[in-house]
Amino acid sequence: MFKKTFLFITTLLVATSASTGYNGQDLFKGDVPITRFLDWFKNADHYVHLKGLIILDLIPAVFLIVQTVLFFKDKQKLKGWFALLSLLANGIGVVILVQYAYPIAAQMADWTPDTLPSNWISLKDDWIQYIGFYALLGILGLLLFLITFFVPANKNTALKPIHPFLNGLKNALLFILTFLSLMNVSGIYDLTFFPTLYKISGVTFIEMHRPVDLAMRSIGPIIFSIMLSLFVLLAILFYMEKSKIKSLLILVGILLLLGNTFVALKGNRPLNDLFLTWTPTTIPSNWSSLREEWLGYHLYRHIFNELQVFAILLIYFVTKSKSKTASV
């Protein structure tokens, strides 16, 4: 029981390493208004610079090291090697962050609109690029660790209750849904430990919000349709496999996805429509309370996301009634 609980917690912590804590740096590429960039950066860096390393890297690394040792101790060498590669990917990301991004961040922390270096745009974009590399390596670390759930515990492959093609499809769908769900697991972390969006000015907030909202209006329905289709198909495959508990967990995931979407449409969407009408000169006096209401709806959605992740991860810990197979 301890090992399963520890693996569950480690998975969640490794997923948080896919977050940089900054969230939004790509919106400031190129020749952007320096006052808005500095408003966002100085607030974000205040929370992320040291706290980010501890919460997003050091704590997950400790758990990942212990989990790697447990894999090798249990003679699950292949799982141990993938966990070790995950640790290595995250470690390289931290090296890039500390060696390349932090020195630039230290310079930018002293910038003011009147004391900018002539190459401030290239320096800023280099910093954004290094943060991007750090994020990609965190995602790679998550992918490598997630593979450990699909490595067979032994070489015995008993007969599968469904066709091998359907079994492979089931595992592929489960891998994709688990990965996509874990990518959002740091949402509550970001709002709690790195509350940058609560601190930036109204002008910076609406300028950051507008491009993201317009993009999500286009791709949001597509993402929802794909996710719902994958969930439904996976529930059917688990039912065909006679894994009723796993089917029920997927149905719980579907309900949580629908709950998340309901909050987005009824809570965030009306405020998004309102924010799009604002300009830097027409921001109302109660804008901060409206922003906090909007972020509150996001918090509810992150809770739905977390519960969805829990439901999906529990699938891996459901006791099999038959012989162990290579599939989940």
Q: 117-131, 185-199, 264-278 — which is least confidently predicted?
A: 185-199
pLDDT tens digits, one per residue of 232-246: 999 999 999 889 999
pLDDT band at 189 (very low <50, low <70, confident <90, very high): confident
Determine the Cα–Cα distance for residues 297 and 295; give it in Å rounded to an integer: 5
pLDDT tens digits, one per residue of 289-304: 999 999 999 999 999 9
Rounded average pLDDT over 64-91: 96
What contacts 309, CB < 8 A, 6 or more positions away?
12, 15, 181, 182, 184, 185
pLDDT at 35: 95
> Measuring CA to CA, which residue among 141, 12, 137, 154 is closest to residue 82?
141
pLDDT band at 324 (very low <50, low <70, confident <90, very high): very low
Which CA distances in Å does 271 have to 40, 196, 198, 213? Answer: 21, 19, 16, 11
DSSP notation for 73-95: HTT-HHHHHHHHHHHHHHHHHHH
Cα diameter, the chain: 71
Determine the Cα–Cα distance for residues 149 and 315; give it in Å rounded to an integer: 11
Is residue 105's pLDDT more than 80? yes
Let me know: does 146 contact 315? Beta carbons within 8 Å.
Answer: no
The full set of domain ranges for the chain reads 1-151, 156-328
Secondary structure of residue 184 in the 3-state scheme: coil
Determine the Cα–Cα distance for residues 198 and 210; give it in Å rounded to an integer: 16
Is residue 323's pLDDT more than 80? no
**Residues 110, 113, 119, 120: what is their CA dihedral angle, to the nearest 10 degrees?**
60
> Measuring CA to CA, which residue among 245, 228, 227, 247 is closest to residue 237?
247
